[in-house]
Structure 1
Amino acid sequence: MVRPRWLKARNWRNQLQIRPLGHGWDQFVAIWASINLLLVIFDVSYVPLRNFWLQRQLYLLPGVPLAIPLTFLPDLTLTYDPIKGIEPHRDTQNFIEKWTLLDQQLLSKGAANPASKKLLDQQLLLTNQLISENPFLAANKTGTLERIKNRLRQRTGLESATQGASKLFNPEWIKMNSWSQERLFWQQEIMPLIATNYWRSIDEAGRPTERFWRIDLLWFQSVFFFDILLRVLQLKRRFPGLSWRDAILRRWFDFPLLLPFWRLTRVIPVAARLRSSGVIDAEPVRVVVSRGVVALLAVELIEVIALQIVEGVQAFIRSPKWKQRIKRLGTPDRFQNAEKQDFEGLLRIWLPLLLGRVLPSLAPQGRELLAYGLQRSLVKTPLSAPLQKFQPVQLAEREFSRQLATGIIEALLDLSKGTAAELSRDDQRVKDLWVGASEAFWHELGNALGESATLEQSQTLLAEMLEELKLTYLSGINSAGVEGLLKKLEQFSDGELVTEP
């Protein structure tokens, strides 16, 4: 029965087919990951730099109240403090509120008013409590309290901060210096430091409150997870034989984007995505960094590897078992091992090839070379020298040399072809002769080396040569240095290598 078109089975495989990710999507994810990295850096540095975001002033020198105002920056503390669980500290906030009331009272009524004297005594009490109880300790800002105490001492010239506070809140001191001048000292040097104090809540695990993970998970990590999933599915589609585990592991450098800790490591996948998507050209930076790293590692690696190889060869050469090893090469059991059989097989392949095909193809060149050599030899003979003036004699010598060279070359080629034909045949007699010659050669060589001091002298000379190689070559690597290697790499990259005299 023919199925109607409207009942035709749907090809779900084609509908679920994962298409390659577009360039626009890659650029979007790269830019989105860059924004996330900037937010992560801001989040990590927010608490240490909260004073800067609160005051929006850039202090040029530490400990000196000389700052550049940056009022164009927004006050981010109002928005980001709740994310970090930061709240105004009750003690310092109360100090600021009471000081504001005191400031208004002194500006309107003066220091002689009874209400003003009461507020001055109250503010002095709060200042002494601030110095003694140290509410800055919870925010790890004890250094801020020390700066406040130092400025109180410098203002009054007294050695005690509490005595300095008593002097500054004395109505007689305010009458002598006027509150309009004193309030500038408090507004510019004391109150900004007190305002930097805060209290941070703690979660059930005993750690400071942190709510940035909600923003990270909702706005960024969900996008990163979707993008990584698409790339894994694309890998699985391109390589059907690839397991899911291997497909996921191939995206290992994207894992920092999903980790809730070590978030600064996201710089690795962000840099990779910016480079692959073409948002920024990171090639110059990569080249500079890779050259430096390669040059630094190359010096160390070459020294270690070269030293190990040379010392290993020296130990092999100095071995006292060379005589036994050479004699053992000629024993039948040694000759029948796999290494010898492989060596025999190579000889049976290459000797017929060289003798039967390569040498005969060089016959014209060989004839010309041998004929020229014979002719030059005839010219140098005493009998031929007086006859060189005659042209027939020269022609005769040339023809004789050519014929003699042709005969010699043809005889050698016939011998070479015959030898190649015999060697190419799987003849047991040839194998037996080769085995006998090899055994006799190694046995006689071992006996000759055992009866003379040639082996010991050769070992000593080779070991000394390698020792000199270590001293000269490795010291040359050290003297060349990283700068020389980088210079040569730059010359190679420019397409030219200048040889220095």
Structure 2
Amino acid sequence: MVRPRWLSAQRVTASRLWLHWDRAVALWAALNLVWVLFDITYVPLRTFWLQRNLTPLPQMPLVVPLPLLPDITPLYDPVKGIEPHRETQQYLAAFQQLDAALLAGESAASTAPLRRRQVELTVEMINENPFAASGNSGTLEKIKNRLRQQAGLDSAKASADRLLSDAWLGRHSWQQERRFWRQQVLPLVSTSYWRSIDENGRPTDHFWRTDLLLFQSVFALDILLRMVRLRRRFPGLSWRDALLRRWIDLPLLLPFWCWLRVVPVVERLSQARLINIEPLRAAVSRAVVSLLALELFEVLALQLVDGTQSLIRSPQWPRWIRSLRSHQSVSTSDDQQLLELVKLWGPLLLGEVTPRLAPELQSLLGHALQQSLREVPGGVAVPELLSRQVAGGMVDSLVDLARGTAQRLAQSDERQVELLQRFGDRFWEELAAGLEQGGTLQRSQQLLVTLLQQLKLNYLAQMNRAGIDALMEELDELTAPTENGAGAEMASPLTPPATPPA
């Protein structure tokens, strides 16, 4: 039955719609990942977002301003529960009042209470250390060091008192001192903040609300649609199995460890054909294989050798051998299969392969006969022609015997089957009895175990990292394509030729 054209067009359109949906969700997930990384680094980098300055060398007062970046702290501080610290805000407000009075040219007597108040706030800030609440105690040390360096004293409190004294301001203009305070001290003071805690005793964080509303809801809908697509593709698949197949999307729904979302995001971008991670995957896979190949092979080899040694040490060998007899076997189907194999390979080897080897057997037997007569004391030299004739007669007799045996094996003979079974039973019985006598089993077990022990000590101990690297390089040479594509053909010689498009 011919498929209608409208049905084909509908399927193509649906496929394209799914592809557009997957790409949109992948880009939305990538945006979410960028936001997650920003949220994780916001508190440690809040000083940067507040001042929008780069300090390449923290030990030096080298600052690179970035005025193009917007001040996002008023918008994002409420998300993290961050509020301005009251002590530092009081300090900044007092300095603004002092700065306005000094710029207005008021007398030293009128500005003395403001300067004294500023010194008291500086001493209080040094004693209380409001930066400890935000984990930035180093900022206070920077302020103290800059006060000491500016005043030339060893005490930061005395330095603040000296920098705002009548004598100091009488020798230095306020414009110069104002530049020091506004560029070296106040930006550091403004970085202090206070962060509230929730009922569980953890710092306030409202990130999950926006994440749940804008992103996780979309991810949940997409996972549900993918499960529906899987069940339509595999009707026998249960909802649980369909969900388990999307286990990689689990980090997208977790409210914690959000940095794990990098895995499903990369996977979605790759499936949507927005990025190509195959070279990275191959490089990571090669590194992992290179690191684990040696340990994995050593463990497997040691486990195999140890298991073989335990099996060899077992005293149950005679019982196991006797269990191979036909009347001791658990299933008779194995015996019938063995007999059928003998009946199949016996005529093949005796009736076809052996006669074709007659010339080689004659040459080998004639040479061996001539060499054996020469080694006999007092032996006479046998002509080569005579030895070849003797060998030829022996080989002809052997070939005739083989052909006759092959013909008999090819015939359906119940007596023959019975004799073969009797021969096998007798062979296993005599072999088991021979192992039980004269300490043959114990000596054989000891020799085999010693041989395997030497294998562990000599071969496995010689394996090293260089050997694995050499194997990986050899693998790269075998699988890497050449300029004319010969490497790809050698890597997959059984690949069928590509069919031309219809």
Q: Deviations over 1:69-126 (max 9, x none)?
A: 222222221221222222222221121122122223223316x432322211111111
Classify 1:343/1:171 alpha carbon distance in 2 versus 1 (closer, same or farther; 3 Å): same
Structure-2 residue corresponding to 1:421: 411
- Describe how 1:314-329 pairs up with structure 2 within 5 A: 314-319=309-314, 321=315, 325-326=317-318, 329=321
Residues 318 and 435, structure 2, Cα contact 8 Å, conserved in 1:
no
Q: Does 1:38 find its partner at 2:34?
A: yes
Q: 1:300: which partner in 2?
A: 295
Q: Larger deviation: 197-206 or 371-380?
A: 371-380
- Residue among 461, 464, 470 paired with 2:447: 461
Deviation at 1:289, TM superposition (A): 1.0
Q: Scaled by the length of structure 2, what TM-score is found?
A: 0.81
- Tell me by how many angstroms 1:379 deviates: 12
Distance 2:464 2:326 in 1: 45
- 1: CA distance between counterparts of 2:347 and 2:236? 49
| Deviates further, 57-66 or 433-442 | 433-442
C-alpha spacing 1:463/1:373, structure 2 compared with 1 (3 Å) = closer
Higher relative contact order (CA 8 A, sep 6+): 1
What aligned pairs does 1:10-29 form with structure 2 within 5 A after superposition?
19-20=14-15, 22-29=18-25
Residue 188 (str. 1) matches residue 174 (str. 2):
no
Check whether the contact 2:91–2:118 (CA below 8 A) recurs between aligned residues.
yes
Structure 2 residue ranges without an equivalent (≥5): 1-9, 372-380, 482-486, 488-502
Matched AA of 1:345? Q
Specify the code of the residue in structure 2 equivalent to 1:326.
P
Decide whether aligned partners of structure 1 residues 233 and 19 sit closer, same or farther in structure 2, where only a CA change above 3 A counts.
farther
One-letter amino acid of the counterpart of residue 82, structure 2: I
Aligned partners of 2:348 and 2:406 also within 8 Å: no
Change (3 A) 1:211 1:383: closer
The 8 Å contact of residues 330 and 440 in structure 1, kept in 2 or not, is answered as no
**How far apart are the structure 1 equivalents of 2:132 and 2:425?**
90
Correspondence 1:216 to 2:211:
yes
Greater mean alpha carbon deviation, residues 68-77 or residues 228-237: 68-77
Corresponding position of 1:122: 117
Shift of 1:244: 0.8
User: Is the 2:323–2:329 Cα contact (8 Å) retained in structure 1?
Assistant: no
2:296 and 2:368 mapped to 1: Cα distance? 56
SS of 1:109's partner is coil
Question: How far apart in 2 are the matches of 1:263 and 1:100?
Answer: 42
> Does the 8 A contact of 1:256 with 1:265 survive in 2?
yes
Tell me the matched-pair count: 460
Q: State the alpha-carbon separation in 2 of the partners of residues 101 and 318 from structure 1.
A: 94
Partner of 1:173: 168
- In the aligned structure 2, how far is the partner of 1:136 from the partner of 1:294? 49
Q: Residue 346 in 1 paired to residue 332 in 2?
A: no
Shift of 1:451: 3.8
1:390-401 aligned at under 5 Å gives the runs: none
Corresponding residue SS for 2:54: strand
Selected match of 2:240 from 221, 227, 245: 245
Deviation at 1:191, TM superposition (A): 0.9
Aligned to 1:365: 356
Q: Note if 1:442 corresponds to 2:434.
A: no
Q: How does 1:40-439 map to 2 (within 5 A)?
A: 40-109=36-105, 112-319=107-314, 321=315, 325-326=317-318, 329-330=321-322, 335-338=327-330, 341=332, 343-356=334-347, 360=351, 362=353, 365-366=356-357, 409=399, 411-422=401-412, 427=414, 433-439=419-425
Secondary structure at the aligned position of 1:199 is classed as: strand
Q: Sequence identity of aligned pairs in percent?
A: 45
Map of 2:466 onto structure 1: 480
Give, in whole Å, the separation in 2 of the partners of 1:464 and 1:384.
47
Of 120-129 and 485-494, the range deviating more from structure 2: 485-494
2:464 alignment partner, SS class: helix
Contact 2:322 2:328 in 1 (8 A): no
- Whole-angstrom distance in 2 between the partners of 1:328 and 1:278: 59
C-alpha separation in 1, matches of 2:210 and 2:97: 40
Distance 2:382 2:400 in 1: 30
- Cα deviation for residue 471 of structure 1 reads 1.9
Q: 1:376 to 1:205 in 2, by over 3 A?
A: closer
Aligned to 2:64, the other structure's residue is in SS state strand
* Distance of 1:485 and 1:150 partners within structure 2: 59
Separation in 2 of the partners of 1:90 and 1:42? Answer: 27
Mapped partners of 1:436, 1:364: distance in 2:
28
**Aligned equivalent of 1:499:** none
TM-score (norm. length: structure 1): 0.81
Distance of aligned partners of 1:316 and 1:330 in 2 relative to their CA distance in 1, 3 Å threshold = closer
Amino acid at match of 1:350: L
Q: Please report how far the alpha carbon of residue 435 of structure 1 lies from its aligned counterpart in structure 2 after TM superposition.
A: 4.9
Q: CA deviation at 1:152?
A: 2.1
Going from structure 1 to structure 2, the CA distance change for 1:486 and 1:177 (only over 3 Å counts) comes to farther
Deviations 1:341-395 (A, max 9, x none): 4542331221111124565454773466567779999999966869xxxxxxxxx
State the match for 2:375 in structure 1. none
Name the residue aligned to 1:10.
none
Task: State the shift of 1:175 in Å.
Answer: 1.7
Distance across 1 between alignment mates of 2:424 and 2:219: 69
1:254 is paired with a residue whose SS is helix
State whether residues 327 and 443 of structure 1, in contact with CA within 8 Å, keep that contact through their aligned partners in structure 2.
no
Which amino acid counterpart does residue 157 of structure 1 have in structure 2?
G
Matched residue, 1:9: none
Gaps of 5+ in 1: 1-14, 387-396, 497-501
Q: Given the superposition, is the C-alpha separation of residues 492 and 76 from structure 1 closer, same or farther in structure 2, using an over 3 Å criterion?
A: farther
Q: What amino acid does structure 1 have at the position aligned with 2:317?
A: R
